Structure formats: structure tokens, C-alpha cells
Structure 1
Amino acid sequence: MNDHEKSMATGLPADHEKSTATGLPADQEKSTAAGLPADHERATATGGLPADHSTPTGGLPADHVAAFAALFGAPPEAPAVPVDWDAVEEWAGLRLPADYKAIATAYGPLDIGERLWLHTPFDREGGWFDYGSFVESGRRDAPGVLPFGATRMSDTLYWDTTASDDPDLWPVVVHLQDAANAGRDPWLRLGTPLLPALAGFVADGLRPVLARSGLAGDEAYAWTPPARRPEPTPEQRAALTEGSGLKALTALLPPPAAPRLGDRNWEWLYERLGTRLPTEYVRLMETYGGGGWCQWLRFGLPLGTGRYDLAPWAEWYGETYRELRDAHPRYHPLAAWPEPGGFLAFADSIDGDQLCWLTEGDDPDAWPLVVVPRHADQGPPLTGTLTGNLLAWLRGELATEGLPRLVRTGEDPLEIIEFAPFTDEPDDQDEGPAGTDSAGTGPAGTDSAGTGPAGTGSASTGSPPTAG
């Protein structure tokens, strides 16, 4: 494979320049029968691992833990988080590679070389990282991929499960976020299983040091797979295309038996805000309460006093927006409640976009909706009602800044869309509201990434990887 072919295959520069922040190689490609990098002398039968840890076939180590320790050293002193691999594999519907399971069992979740996270199953109360969400989200990024790691540059590491029926032969592929942002093919196809891929990263400059992942901290415990999603009912299927208003919405996503509103009452809220709110919003909240829609759009508790509930959040966000408008009026053109006609934020996305009313006129039921986007110029108001827009978004009929398309081609919407009611006060969570820093103190729209801590999610841009 010549330099031009490598560049065309990876979408990266043809030279051997590394991603400056990740230390990951820019040009590893399949080229030999062993599937090892073409341009390194380490492309041997051992896959770049010490010879005494190899087996006669496949380049796979006989002792995965010893081979990993030869690269990165002994496990951290604290015991690894226990993993019930039978439960994990039953939930995933796949057997996982033996080297990964051995490393995860001995080492737990890791920060490798201060640049790469090896994610393993664990749970932590109030933590940033959710293993189940990470895997489920990552599997949607391309057919047959299964995520297991990430980098500080928001790259994501996967296995290509389509390459073999044997998970121990699954090659590693990497989604390079910088390449995706530049419009290039973002998929880096390493062509080797996990351990040889890690050996290649070390040979290409990744520091051979490790520590227990800070995402797990000292409070991590064994991960329990979530319950399987119930089979959709005929009423839900019909509601994907039929009906309107709250009746259709509740048929599509049945509300909780006891919606959580908060400890105060509506009159308290109206007095604090100095205005009544749209009747449709009140009906929606009394039906569903506070919670998250599709792991994207969050409605705080309307009658709560926590800092992320409706009144405290609307007050804080309006004040912050006015400060940003004073400094950057071009990018913050709106009036902000309680200014006349100003927007009043009542829901937010995980990326810090705000869903608001424009408080124009004396009739709250006539207030138009508007999205205040975090990473785009301000757009016009939405047309239609709150419930109508929410229903259209869930059905895939509405996609705009702050309300992106939820379902990808070939996916069943009823396997994706959901409402998750709050089961405890959002204020009890360690993380701040969507669009702020981890303490909840940074103003929305002021960081550069807007995606939460690196490595907690993945992106899907460009063509999916292919085996071979």
C-alpha cells in the first residue's frame, strides 16, 4: 500500500504524523496476512507483543494479563471492579474478546498513557459514565461495531464484530473525531485485535503508563445490565404515525404512574416567576413530570426549588444570557425573561441547548416556542404547540438545532425513543445541568466541546468501517 493509498483509505495525511493529543497512529492499515501494520518492524507473528507471551497461531497471547502487564505494568493497587461476564454478554448478545475480559477483570477501567480510556463494565452513583449507555449509543455508530474505549480527543475505539465469528479475532477500528469534523473518512482500521493494537500504540508513542480511570473513582461497584425494553404495543406502533396532541403522545410513550413535579404548587411558581405559564405545559408536566426524553431533552421539576428545576434554572440562565449578550451581542440577540418579550427557558438538552417560550403578550397560551442553540446562530421561533413539536420530534418529523434527528436509517424508532422520569431530585446528582461544567457553575455555551467529559460518548460521521 503506497502513501496515496493509505491517505485515501484512512482519510488522514499520508505521512506518519500522529494525532498530537492522543498518540494514536495516523496510518495503521491492514496489509499482511497477520493483519498487522505494514510500516513497522514489529509486524511479526506475535503482533508486537513479547515473544514469550505468544502462541503458535493467530498472534494471540497465551496469558493476556501477562502480555498486558509487559506493556503497561502491574494493575493498580485497589481491587478491580468485579464483572459478571455471563450477564454482560447475555445483555450484549455477543461473546466478548478474551483478552479484553482478562484485562478488565484484573485491572478494571483504565486511563492508559493519560490519553486513552479502556472502558469496562462498572457503575457509580451519580457518575458521569454509564457503561450501558456508552455501549448502546456506540453500537448505533456503524453496522456491527461494539465500543470499548475512547481518547481525550473524543475519538472512540470499537471492535468490528462483522470481521469474524470469533470475538478473539475482531479487529480494532477507531473513529477519529478530528477527521470527521474535517469531512474526511473518520474510520481508522487497525486490522488487529486489542492487545496487538495497544502494542502498536505504544510503539507509535503512547506512554506505557496507566492508572485506574477517574470515571470510576473509588466508589465504583459491579454493573448490573438494564432490563430489556418491553416489546412495543400495537397502540405505540399506531401512534408513530397517527393522532395528535397529548393523547397521541401518551399512546406513543406511556407516562409514569406517579409523575414527579416537586414539593411546591403552581401558584407558588406563578408568583415566583411573575406570570402564569401555558396551559399545555402544565398538562404535559402533570402527565409526565420532570424527566428526560430520549437521553437528550430534559424537563426539570416545574414545582421544585433545586438549582436545576424550572424557576431557579430559568432565573440563572436568563441572567447568564444577558451577561453573554453584553459581551457578544451578535451571538445573543434575544431579550431574556423578565425583559419584555424575553425568552423563558423551561427545558434543556444534554448539549446545553435551551427550549424556551418567547413571552410575547399577556396570553401565555399564545407564546411561541424557540430553541436557544448552544453551537449555532440563533434561529427563528418554532411553529406549532409544545406537545405537537415534541411528538413530531419523537416521530422523526422535526429536526432542528437543539432537537436533532433521533433515529437513523434502518432503525426502529420504538427501540430508540423513551421517556425516563426523574426518580430523585436532579440536584442530588454530582454532575451539573446540561451545558454546564461538572459543578454546575459554568455558563452554558462557554466551553469548547459542549459534550461533557471526553470519552463518555461517541460520534458517528462518515462511512462505517468494513472488515478487510
Structure 2
Amino acid sequence: MTTLTALTTICPPPASPPSTPDWSQAETELGMRLPEDYKQLMATYGPGEFCNFLSLYYPHAPREAADLTGPMPARLRQQIEEVRHNARQPWPLPHPPEQLFATGVTGNGDYLFWVTQPSDKPDAWDVAVNQALRAPWYTFTGTLTQFLLAVISGTTRVPFFPEDLLDNGTTFTPARPTVEPPPPTDQQDSMNPSDIRAWARANGHPLPDRGRIPTEIIEAWKRGHTV
């Protein structure tokens, strides 16, 4: 039984397979190969949350904070150094910051990183977990899928993860689809602030030439205008 099969046995993935990312494009943008176990993991589960606690980053995610190919991994490396050096007593790092590549986050603000050594052998990368960009650190020897299986099965406990993490069962909750804002209506397109101000003054609502137009005045203007 493979690690992924064991994981899906105790934590079933979504019934409908998620869309598969363009791995070639993602790796080109990152300038590095990604672990094969991660690709298979994402192809099986897609974006979402394990045990209502742990989420993995995903290529080209709609939210920047969850985008594996966005600025978040580099930003976190910088923030680790900033937090560390601003502390009264800087703590030692178990891995050089340049070797850490963020791959997930927990509900408590703990971050998961690949330890990208050797850089040309992504399938050999270990997983490091950091408590909210501060000490302590926990390093797991194995792949990201092996780490998830070990944590979700209860065979490994990260010291700063909640003790009741598994009390509600081993679940995976798919991320909600991003809702695109509705296209502007013709009435919204025709909403000229100058016209609204002129209408408001003509109807006894004094407004300055600049600043926010109160919502109630905008709604009153809408009620009196049809396109």
C-alpha cells in the first residue's frame, strides 16, 4: 500500500476529482521541480483543509495567501529572519532560510516548509514545521504525504499542534470555490458621482464636491432612475 493510498483510506478525498494544475508551468515559474508525492496529493485532494486545521498551498490559488506560485513563500522566508533578529535573544534556525520553501499553514498560524535539500532531488525533501514564524521548530524526516499520514493517523504528534486535533475525526474539507463578483449592471455603469451629487442637491441633500457619497443617497438615486 502506498502512502497516498493509506492516507485516502483514513481521510477520504473529495468524490469529484479536482482539476489538475499545470505542473510544467508551475515548475517553470518557481524555477524548481516539485516533489512527485505533492503533485499526486494535490491531484487527489485539491485545495482544502485537513482536520479543519491544516491547509496546503496550491499553484495559482485565487488567494495570494494560499498560492504556492505567488509571493508568499519568499515573503515568509524574509519574515522568519525579521522576527528572529528583532527578538531579544535570536534563536538558532534548524535550517538556513534559503532552504525553506513554504507549502502550507495551520489554523494556529503554524507554517509548513519543504527543506529543499538536495535542491535537485525534491522527492528527498523533508518537512519542517514552525510555530508562527518563531521557535520552536519541528522537522519530520519524510515527504509531505508521509507527514500528513503520520499526523492524521496519530503516529506522529507535532508538539505545538492541538492535543485534540483528531477528536472530531480525520476529515478533508475542499476549499470553497472563489466567487467572482457579478458583472456590473447597466445602471451601475451609468452611476456618475457628479450626477448623483447634482440630483442630491436638487432634492435637498447637500453634498460637498468631494468625499464619500452616503449609501442611502445612492440607493435613493437608484430608486429614482431606471435605465
TM over 0.5: yes
Aligned partner letter, 2:174: P
CA distance in 1, matches of 2:59, 2:149: 20
Offset at residue 268 of structure 1 (A):
2.0
| 2:49 maps to 1:296 | no
Q: Go from structure 1 to structure 2 and tell me whether the alpha carbon gap of 1:267 and 1:388 turns closer, same or farther (over 3 Å shift).
A: same
Aligned partner (choices 152, 155, 167) of residue 397 of structure 1: 155
1:111-126 equivalences under 5 Å are none
Partner of 1:416: 169
Partner of 2:132: 374
CA distance in 1, matches of 2:16, 2:60: 15
Partner of 2:83: 324
Offset at residue 320 of structure 1 (A):
2.1
CA distance in 2, matches of 1:369, 1:427: 34
Q: TM-score, normalised by structure 1?
A: 0.34
1:188-337 equivalences under 5 Å are 245-260=3-18, 265-304=22-61, 306-308=63-65, 309-312=67-70, 313-328=72-87, 330-331=90-91, 333=93, 334-336=95-97
Offset at residue 380 of structure 1 (A):
4.7
1:37-56 equivalences under 5 Å are none
8 Å CA contact 1:359–1:367 kept in 2: the answer is yes
Residue by residue over 1:81-111, the C-alpha shift from the partner in whole angstroms, topping out at 9 and shown as x without a partner, is xxxxxxxxxxxxxxxxxxxxxxxxxxxxxxx
State how many pairs are aligned.
176
8 Å CA contact 1:305–1:311 kept in 2: the answer is no
CA RMSD, Structure 1 to Structure 2 (Å): 2.8
Identity of aligned residues (%): 31
Q: Go from structure 1 to structure 2 and tell me whether the alpha carbon gap of 1:325 and 1:375 turns closer, same or farther (over 3 Å shift).
A: closer
Q: TM-score, normalised by structure 2?
A: 0.66
CA distance in 1, matches of 2:174, 2:138: 30
SS in 2 for 1:310: coil
Aligned partner letter, 1:355: L
Structure 2: unaligned runs, 5 residues or longer: 182-227
1:163-178 equivalences under 5 Å are none
Q: Go from structure 1 to structure 2 and tell me whether the alpha carbon gap of 1:407 and 1:371 turns closer, same or farther (over 3 Å shift).
A: closer
Offset at residue 299 of structure 1 (A):
1.5
Q: Go from structure 1 to structure 2 and tell me whether the alpha carbon gap of 1:261 and 1:335 turns closer, same or farther (over 3 Å shift).
A: farther
1:17-96 equivalences under 5 Å are none
Q: Go from structure 1 to structure 2 and tell me whether the alpha carbon gap of 1:325 and 1:274 turns closer, same or farther (over 3 Å shift).
A: farther
Q: Of Structure 1 and Structure 2, which has the larger fraction of its residues in helix?
A: 2
Offset at residue 303 of structure 1 (A):
3.4
Q: Go from structure 1 to structure 2 and tell me whether the alpha carbon gap of 1:332 and 1:346 turns closer, same or farther (over 3 Å shift).
A: farther
SS in 1 for 2:129: strand
CA distance in 1, matches of 2:79, 2:180: 19
CA distance in 2, matches of 1:406, 1:426: 32
Residue by residue over 1:424-450, the C-alpha shift from the partner in whole angstroms, topping out at 9 and shown as x without a partner, is 13999xxxxxxxxxxxxxxxxxxxxxx
Offset at residue 417 of structure 1 (A):
1.9
